[in-house]
Amino acid sequence: MPKRIFLSVGEPSGDQHAARLIRHLRQSYPRIETCGFGGPAMQSAGCSLQRNLTEHAVVGLLEVLPKLRDFFRFADEAEKVFQTGHIDAVVLVDFPGFNWHIAKRAKRYGIPVYYYCPPQLWAWGGWRIRKMRRWVDHVLAVLPVEEEFFSKRGVASTYVGHPFFDAVAETRLDDALMARLSRQTESGRKLVAVLPGSRTHEVQRTWPLMLSSIRQIAKTNRDAKFLVAAYRDRHCIWCQQQLTESDKQLPIEFYVDRTSEIIEAARCAMMVSGSVSLELLARRTPAAVAYRVGRLLYAFARLVVRLDSITLPNLMGARKVFPEMVSVGDPQPAIDFLTESVTAMLDDEFYYQQTIRQLEALCGEFAGGGATAKAANWIGQAVIGDASVNRRRAA
How far apart (Å, rounded) are the C-alpha atoms in residues 306 and 182?
Answer: 42
Q: What is the DSSP letter of 359?
A: H
Residues 6 or more apart whose CB falls under 8 angstroms from that of 238 comprise 203, 204, 207
> For the sheet containing 138-141, what is the strand order?
48-52, 32-38, 3-9, 89-93, 113-116, 138-141, 157-159
pLDDT value of residue 336: 96
* 355 burial via Cβ count (<10 Å: 0-12, 13-18, 19+): buried
| 168-366 and 3-161+370-394 share a CATH fold | yes
How far apart (Å, rounded) are the C-alpha atoms in residues 357 and 17?
Answer: 28
Q: What is the DSSP letter of 273?
A: S
pLDDT value of residue 269: 98
Contact, 78 vs 105, CB < 8 A? yes
Q: Where are the domains of the chain?
A: 3-161+370-394, 168-366
Residues 6 or more apart whose CB falls under 8 angstroms from that of 176 comprise none
How is domain 168-366 classified at the CATH fold level? Answer: Rossmann fold (3.40.50)
pLDDT value of residue 307: 60
CA distances in angstroms from 32 to 155, 203, 379, 390, listed in the order given:
26, 38, 10, 16
pLDDT value of residue 395: 40
Ramachandran sector of residue 289 (left: φ over 0; alpha: ψ -120 to 50; beta: rest):
beta
Q: What is the pLDDT along the chain (395 residues), one digit of tens a residue?
A: 899 999 999 888 899 999 999 999 999 999 999 999 999 999 999 999 999 988 765 544 445 555 567 778 889 999 999 999 999 999 999 888 889 999 999 999 999 999 999 987 766 656 778 899 999 999 999 988 889 889 999 999 999 999 989 988 888 999 999 999 999 999 999 999 999 998 888 899 999 999 999 999 999 999 999 999 998 999 999 999 999 999 989 999 999 999 999 999 999 999 998 888 999 999 999 999 998 876 675 565 555 555 667 788 888 776 789 999 888 889 999 999 999 999 999 999 999 999 999 999 998 888 878 999 999 999 999 999 754 434 433 34
- Residue 74 phi, psi (nearest 5): -65, -40
pLDDT value of residue 293: 75
* 247 burial via Cβ count (<10 Å: 0-12, 13-18, 19+): middle
How far apart (Å, rounded) are the C-alpha atoms in residues 90 and 150?
Answer: 19
Ramachandran sector of residue 92 (left: φ over 0; alpha: ψ -120 to 50; beta: rest):
beta
pLDDT value of residue 275: 81
How is domain 3-161+370-394 classified at the CATH fold level? Answer: Rossmann fold (3.40.50)
pLDDT value of residue 299: 60
